[in-house]
Structure 1
Amino acid sequence: FLAAHLAAHEGGESRRAVVGPSYGYNPDSPMVGVDELLAQLSPELVVERYRHLPEFQDVRQPYFAGCGMDLRKRSIPWKAFWTGNCSIRMDDFRRVGAFEERFQGWGGEDMELGFRLHRAGLTIELAADAWAVVAPHDRDHKANFDELFANMRLFLSKFPEPAIEMGLAVMVEKGEFWQWEPTYLELLDWQQRARGLSVSAEIADALADVPDDEAVTIIGCGGELPASVTGATLVDFDHELLDRAVRSGDHSGYHALGLSTPLSDDSAGTVVITSRMAGVWDTWGMQILAEAGRIGRRTISYADPVLPTAHSQQPHFEGRAA
């Protein structure tokens, strides 16, 4: 086990964080009788005989197999960085600040560490020979996941950006952990397709009757704003376009999809959701509308599940009684 982990760190052009498979780690559908097998046979023999059984495989096995066992091909490989079986060089561990001590209870602290390691330039790689066996044991799933959700909120507060925002949403709102990467890839694809979509005229229309002194938040602001807009709070999933828009005036900005922003309740009089959100609306529209309703007293939405151009549809208004 140790030799396999050490070998995985040798050679190559970059530092890496290494993940090993944990046979028997399938909390939702654990293989029956693993304890008895381990009492009778060596771990090596147990793995040799049963490694191909889905119920004995690491719950991450489909995720590993889906990228040809090469986590470097994944867009968020740190999602699979679980400290049940992993290794990193001590200087890299210390360089990124080690574990976040504010995490409490079960879950999330390993993915957050993996996120920081990956951001610091380490690749996250799978070493299939560096395996372990996890004997099934009783688990309080509800308590574990309540703690995980709390820890994911802390993760998002540290790194308020779309990848983490979506991870929290797929777990808490949808209960679909393994949909995290597919939905994130959909966002990345839409980000490229929507790069040239200007919503400046749309924003001008939406705010034409809004008083100049009213606080405004724009979700899906893009890179260009009408000159008439000043002091707005801007939200966009494209970091480059968001920075450009923020620099164009006295605006503040948040790199987010709009599912769970750092903005305060009722911090805006009007929230505009532009047609730049069209490409994610089928999946996230209800959550974005809910967040807009939390942030502001009135929502003006141009989003629609088809690729629009500016002015291609009438805005949808939502509001709350004062």
Structure 2
Amino acid sequence: MRGDVDVSVVTAVHNRGVAARNVLRSLACQTLPPEAFEVVFVDDGSERPLAEELAAEMATLEPTFKLRVLRHDTARGVQEARNAGAAQADGNVLVFLDADCLAHPGLLQAHLDAHTGRQVAVCGYTSVRELTPASWRLLLGDDWDFGDPVGVADRMERTPLLHDPLCELLADPRPSDWAFFWTHNVSIPRWAFEQVGGFKSDFPAKGVEDIEMGYRLARTGLPTVFAPAAKAVHQPHDRLRGRDIVQDRHNEQILVDMYPTLEVEAVCSYDIVRSRELVPAIQRFARALDPATSDCARLEELPGVCARIATAGNVLVMGDPAGWPTGLRPPDAICFPVDTRERPEPGRETARLPLLGTRIPYPDDHFELGLVTDYWRSFPERTLSRILSELARTCRNVVLLSGVSAAPLQQADPALAAALDAYDHPYWEFTVRLRRELHEFEIVERERAGTTAAFDLCERLWETSDLRTAISAPPSRRPAQASA
């Protein structure tokens, strides 16, 4: 019978038996009565089955709670493991806790309290999510006993480095906080989990699948809120952080493909923390944007471009399609953050992407031709370069238009430029390099008719290096110019 207990803790584990045993110990120390919760471990294809190891640990614990262990003989991925655990759970509230996360004694009570009287998804706080054993020893010492969760929890309160800065950051709720639905330490009503269909299996590896669920929950009216008292400590383990960052960027592209909206694009383009400030700024920009600054009113003055459009297999337009020449078939896709009134001819479907253009939900070289109207003038150079790079990625040929719109802007939108200058610095750009200057593109004029012009654009090869390489192998210099 469902609803037998208040809380079900669901944990997926793969080859981390010691960490999982420590998690069990931390759950035995909960202030929530043991009869009020259960624990479901899903052993997702560990090389050595963990059921006996976890049962042996459980036998040493007092007071006891209900434990069940499910086994996948072959790893199916964290999404399916969590779904399998949730399907077996009896609790009214599901708490997802990573197998590396030691629960503070008050964690389950804090999650349960956060659900009282409201329909929400809840994210707790997890300290030092990224430390390896070596970096933990360097920063915090080697005298920590993760087998003593109460001692760790007590020491955590007295160690400033273990304070989670999200406590202050997230004290001011924002609509994009669904992006903090991180399953190292979250909870959700079981009925909501079942209603949205659990975790999706579209992601090839761990990462972003939890954020995707947070977004689906938000779309159904269940916001993500924060419970500072629901604390956990992430037990350190070796990891390839650079690989994880690259994998997250891949999974984010899947997220944009699923939900091409301004807020999802912002979260994936500017990272989760910075997007909290940028999402409102971008939405204000989109509401205030005059389509006349970005339309195709004078495109017919460039017959060479029109001829290229006519023979192109498929075309992406970045900007407002208003004024599109009547003799040309409509574009195959339009990327523009304003809902335009232009509609395609009967029998032809145009994909409409209400995005800035920093992330385009298409694979590499999908379009034969990409056109950007004077819409590009809305952005400062750093962000414009990112948009042009996305065009160059998704389009085999890119044409940058100038003067084709009815009322082109004279400068980038000041309010948006100020927000982007402050927050367009995603933390992961040290691993995934972003184009930031127009110098990184070759821009060649191909056609001009008075003030209207078209430029072919492609990315230049751009040497990157670390300081060690730059110092040890200085580039050759051109001879100094003689003075006049």
TM range (shorter): 0.7 to 0.9
Tell me whether 1:317 sits opposite 2:455 in the alignment: yes
Letter in 2 for 1:213: A
Aligned mates of 1:35, 1:197 — CA distance in 2: 65
Q: Residues 21 and 132 of structure 1 are in contact (CA less than 8 Å); yes or no, is this contact kept in structure 2? A: yes
Aligned counterpart for 1:24 among listed residues 110, 128, 136: 128
Tell me whether 1:92 sits opposite 2:192 in the alignment: yes
Q: Say if 1:287 and 1:80 are closer, same or farther in 2 by CA, change over 3 A.
A: same
Letter in 1 for 2:158: R
Aligned mates of 2:385, 2:368 — CA distance in 1: 19
The structure that is strand-richer by fraction is 2
Report the equivalent of 2:352: 254
The SS at the match of 1:144 is helix
The SS at the match of 1:128 is strand
TM-superposed deviation, 1:245: 2.6
Tell me whether 1:81 sits opposite 2:175 in the alignment: no
Aligned counterpart for 1:126 among listed residues 214, 226, 241: 226
Q: Say if 1:206 and 1:125 are closer, same or farther in 2 by CA, change over 3 A.
A: farther
TM-superposed deviation, 1:97: 1.7
TM-superposed deviation, 1:16: 0.8
User: Could you tell which deviates more after superposition, 136-145 or 211-220?
Assistant: 211-220
Q: Say if 1:127 and 1:305 are closer, same or farther in 2 by CA, change over 3 A.
A: farther
Q: Residues 330 and 344 of structure 2 are in contact (CA less than 8 Å); yes or no, is this contact kept in structure 1? A: no
Q: Residues 194 and 276 of structure 1 are in contact (CA less than 8 Å); yes or no, is this contact kept in structure 2? A: no
TM-superposed deviation, 1:191: 1.1
Q: Residues 401 and 455 of structure 2 are in contact (CA less than 8 Å); yes or no, is this contact kept in structure 1? A: yes
Tell me whether 1:135 sits opposite 2:235 in the alignment: yes
Q: Structure 2: where are the runs of 5+ without partners?
A: 1-106, 403-407, 414-450, 459-484
Equivalent residues in 2 for 1:147-186, closer than 5 Å: 147-170=247-270, 178-186=273-281
Aligned mates of 2:351, 2:298 — CA distance in 1: 16
Report the equivalent of 2:411: 306
Q: Say if 1:152 and 1:319 are closer, same or farther in 2 by CA, change over 3 A.
A: closer
Letter in 2 for 1:65: E
Q: Say if 1:88 and 1:195 are closer, same or farther in 2 by CA, change over 3 A.
A: farther
Tell me whether 1:109 sits opposite 2:109 in the alignment: no
Q: Residues 17 and 124 of structure 1 are in contact (CA less than 8 Å); yes or no, is this contact kept in structure 2? A: yes
Q: Residues 25 and 134 of structure 1 are in contact (CA less than 8 Å); yes or no, is this contact kept in structure 2? A: yes
TM-superposed deviation, 1:144: 2.1
Q: Residues 37 and 46 of structure 1 are in contact (CA less than 8 Å); yes or no, is this contact kept in structure 2? A: no
TM-superposed deviation, 1:26: 4.6
Report the equivalent of 2:169: 66
**Once the two structures are superposed, what CA deviation does each residue of 1:40-62 show, in whole Å capped at 9, x if it has no partner?**
96344224323xx2x3123xx24
Q: Say if 1:198 and 1:245 are closer, same or farther in 2 by CA, change over 3 A.
A: farther
Tell me whether 1:245 sits opposite 2:351 in the alignment: no
TM-superposed deviation, 1:8: 0.6
Q: Structure 1: where are the runs of 5+ without partners?
A: 171-175
Letter in 1 for 2:316: T
**Once the two structures are superposed, what CA deviation does each residue of 1:87-115 show, in whole Å capped at 9, x if it has no partner?**
00111112112111232333111111111
Report the equivalent of 2:155: 46
Structure with more relative contact order (C-alpha pairs < 8 Å, separation 6 or more): 1
Q: Residues 300 and 325 of structure 2 are in contact (CA less than 8 Å); yes or no, is this contact kept in structure 1? A: no
Count of equivalent residues: 298
Q: Residues 202 and 274 of structure 1 are in contact (CA less than 8 Å); yes or no, is this contact kept in structure 2? A: no
Aligned mates of 1:19, 1:40 — CA distance in 2: 20
User: Could you tell which deviates more after superposition, 87-96 or 33-42?
Assistant: 33-42
TM-superposed deviation, 1:315: 4.1
Identity of aligned residues (%): 22
TM-superposed deviation, 1:298: 4.2
**Once the two structures are superposed, what CA deviation does each residue of 1:7-35 show, in whole Å capped at 9, x if it has no partner?**
111113xx210001112335487552386
The SS at the match of 1:130 is strand
Letter in 2 for 1:301: L
**TM-score, reference length from structure 1:** 0.77
Letter in 2 for 1:252: T
Aligned mates of 2:389, 2:265 — CA distance in 1: 14
Letter in 1 for 2:154: L
Aligned counterpart for 1:219 among listed residues 318, 324, 327: 318
Letter in 2 for 1:265: D
Aligned mates of 1:214, 1:65 — CA distance in 2: 56
User: Could you tell which deviates more after superposition, 132-141 or 183-192?
Assistant: 183-192
